[in-house]
Amino acid sequence: MNASENDVSFKSLLADFTAITKARLAVSVVFSSIAGYLLGFSDLNPFSWATLVLLTIGGYCMVGASNVFNQVIEKDLDALMNRTKNRPVPSGKMSVRNAFILGCILTIVGLGILYSINPKTAMFGAISIFLYTSVYTPLKTITPLAVFVGAFPGAIPYMLGWVAATNDFDVEAGTLFLIQFFWQFPHFWAIGWFLFDDYQKGGFFMLPTGKKDKKTALQIILYTCWLILASLLPVTGFTGELKLSYVSGAIVLLLGLWMLLYAVKLYNKMDAAAARKLMLVSVSYISLLQIIYIIDKFIR
């Protein structure tokens, strides 16, 4: 095999690894963990570059493992949907055996790295992988409550960073968990809305009523309101060391009202375009909120 063939082979393997671990999603999740860590370190728990690097690598392995196992379990269903049929396993680019081995390696390496930070971080990482692969994934073809179950592992990364920094799960970590927990619902229901037809091909139940109706749209609005309230809790001073100034709180409120506006637009328009816009706004919302929290900590 010449150098050119080796280069092509490496690029192909990298592309498959990126696809099966859902690299873009994994990076966004790891960003949440990094944000949680930056909020959690203090004079009592000093900042450590080594810990941050370990959290980044271990976090990626944790998310990657969950995504790999998910695709192994859903390979036949993925083959039925346009958005997933070209993934490595359903397309035949990667065998089920190799994908399973990769998932196991990522799990062992990821949890080992997180354990080196502290045992609590590894424990929450393990809980996340278990809930995502063993509970959320099977429930997706059974009940819309799968989104509720999936919101638990989905909310862990933000508070995982705080636990990595403090070796403790307290009101601060619980608040970060709560914020990302409520965020899951409008975000994933928006995705379930504009990909409704594709999800139906795979037999997935992603919307709370099972239909693109006013009741689903209303629930999206209600959970967005809960998200806004949860995001403002640090302003009250009742969330321990996790604090937010009034100015930053006002900015967070405006962000929330921006997202709520698009939730209301979906209720009024009831179409895929409005749902897609809400999804994009929700991604911007959670990223900007985390950045605002971090900036507020350093300038307060």
Which regions in the chain score pLDDT beneath 70? Answer: 1-8
Question: How does pLDDT run across 113-127, given as a tens digit for each residue?
Answer: 999 999 999 999 999
Rounded distance between C-alpha atoms, residue 233 and residue 236, angstroms: 6
Q: What's at 259, amino acid-wise?
A: M
Q: Write down the pLDDT at residue 2.
A: 53
Burial class (CB in 10 A: 0-12, 13-18, 19+), 2: exposed
Query: Are 255 and 288 in contact, with CB atoms under 8 Å apart?
Result: yes
Q: Write down the pLDDT at residue 7.
A: 53
Query: Are 96 and 68 in contact, with CB atoms under 8 Å apart?
Result: no
Q: Write down the pLDDT at residue 6.
A: 53
Q: What's at 42, amino acid-wise?
A: S
Taking alpha carbons only, the member of 198, 181, 190 closest to residue 216 is 190
Q: Write down the pLDDT at residue 161.
A: 97
Q: Write down the pLDDT at residue 13.
A: 83
Query: Are 57 and 164 in contact, with CB atoms under 8 Å apart?
Result: no
User: What residues have CB less than 8 Å from 177, skipping those under 6 apart?
Assistant: 155, 156, 158, 159
Q: Write down the pLDDT at residue 183.
A: 98
pTM of the model: 0.93
Q: Write down the pLDDT at residue 85.
A: 92
Q: Write down the pLDDT at residue 12.
A: 81
